[in-house]
Amino acid sequence: MNLKVLKWLLAHKDALLQIVEIGKGYSKSLPYLKQWEIVDQIARIVIPILETEAVTPKVLAHDDIFTEVWADDALNDEPREVQILQAGAEVQAMAVDWKTLVETIIPLVVAILKALLRDEP
């Protein structure tokens, strides 16, 4: 699971809720065109936020690369597991299904970010 994407989504709660509603309709058993329509709808929410914040997709797409995306992360000595549990509590408080978020939404957002990276030098 990409913790950076999870934190980024949680920082944009309204967008997250919209994305989750759209993502509920996603299934790998859908025809490719229907899958693409769902990914397109999610991308139309994600990309403008990235552009507004001038966040490069590279920063979020790869969870194993250390970057100082989150100002408080440099001061955050909590282990990754604790950060995931904290994020999970926040997700639960929003009444968002954790399984949908982890198995569908985050992978789709990461795929969108990686697709955007193909254009970067």
Confidence (pLDDT) at 66: 38
Q: Where are the alpha helices (DSSP H) in the chain?
A: 3-10, 13-23, 32-53, 57-61, 80-93, 98-100, 106-117
Q: Residue 15's pLDDT is what?
A: 94
What pLDDT is stored for residue 59 in this prediction? Answer: 60
Q: Which residues of 22-60 are buried (b: 16+ CB within 10 A; e: fewer)?
A: bbeebeeeeeeeebeebbebbbebbeeebeeeeeebeeb
pLDDT at 102: 87
Q: What is the pLDDT of residue 116?
A: 83
Global pTM value: 0.75
Tens place of pLDDT for every residue, the chain, 121 residues?
678 888 889 889 999 999 999 999 999 999 999 999 999 999 999 999 988 877 666 666 655 433 334 434 444 566 766 666 676 667 777 778 888 888 999 899 988 888 888 755 5
